[in-house]
Amino acid sequence: MAKKPGTYLYGKNSVLERLKANPGSIRQVYVQDNFRAPDILKAIRSAKIPLKTVSEKDLLRIKRADRLQGIIAEAEKYRYIPFEELLKNDIDKKPLIFLDGLNDPHNLGSIIRIAACFGGFAIVIPEHSSCEVNETVIHVASGGENFVPVAQVTNLSAALLKAKKAGYWAVGTVIDGGQDINSVSLPFPLCLVLGAEGKGIRYGIEKHLDMKISLPMEGAQLSFNVAMACAIFSYEIIKQREK
């Protein structure tokens, strides 16, 4: 039987966090012959995962990327959570971060890491015209993918309407014309909608928003990238939710 296609994790933190959270998803680990990280090696042996020592040249043959840090893990392909699962918990509805048209894997990886650091978030991305959770995303997330459920949906607008029907409020971020995040009282449970850089939130989704919020910026006429904006809005969501 042919082995199902998997994915490569690389970098010490990405591999270590997966070893802690879900060692059963790792099929094989490759380390460079001068690799020194006793905690990682101990975790690999404790989980009884096949371990192979190779040269730097052979390691780069397995996965050509910057900052391998001497370790690559072959793991199961990333698994998305069904969107309906995110709507089932009536007791503690997670804030949902909807990403509209995000195409940069570094931004998606950063957003997953941000959501993991704050805790209690889930992410929703569309299948088309958007970055998927690939190896670069997982590397940038630095283990955050183990703690943040991500749903991939066919139609982001339809998914937002389903969430609203389940009791969520749709709150969208805009550069201009939104209510000041410092003075607005956010409704819960909520869906935070972030648009693509340059394009913003598409009209087909914007028309379903219950509220638009903005970050006041009195400095240079620049804007935060979507990951930086996500961090600021996520902090405010957590702060208000815990009041």
Is pLDDT larger for residue 222 or for residue 180? Answer: 180
State the span(s) of the chain assigned CATH 3.30.1330.30: 6-76
Per-residue model confidence as pLDDT tens digits over 16-70: 999 999 999 999 999 999 999 999 999 999 999 999 999 999 999 999 998 899 9
Render pLDDT for 158-180 as a digit per residue (tens, 0 to 9): 999 999 999 999 999 998 889 99
Using CA atoms, how far residue 28 sits from 35, 38, 67, 174, in Å, is 16, 17, 19, 44
Please give the C-alpha separations between residue 54 and each of 29, 59, 74, in angstroms, as whole numbers: 10, 6, 14
CATH 3.40.50.300 assigned to 6-76 = no
pLDDT at 1: 40
Question: What pTM was computed for the model?
Answer: 0.94
Average pLDDT value for residue range 117-146: 96
Across the range 197-201, mean pLDDT stands at 84
pLDDT band for position 129 (cuts 50, 70, 90): confident
Percent of the chain with pLDDT over 90: 84
Which of the four pLDDT bands, split at 50, 70 and 90, describes residue 3?
low
Q: Helices 105-118 and 226-241, interaxial angle, to 10°? A: 20
State the pLDDT at residue 104: 95
Q: Where in the chain is the domain with CATH 3.40.1280.10?
A: 83-241
Of 3.40.50.2020, 3.30.70.1150, 3.40.1280.10, 3.40.120.10, the CATH number of 83-241 is: 3.40.1280.10
CA atoms within 13 A on the CB side of 71: 23
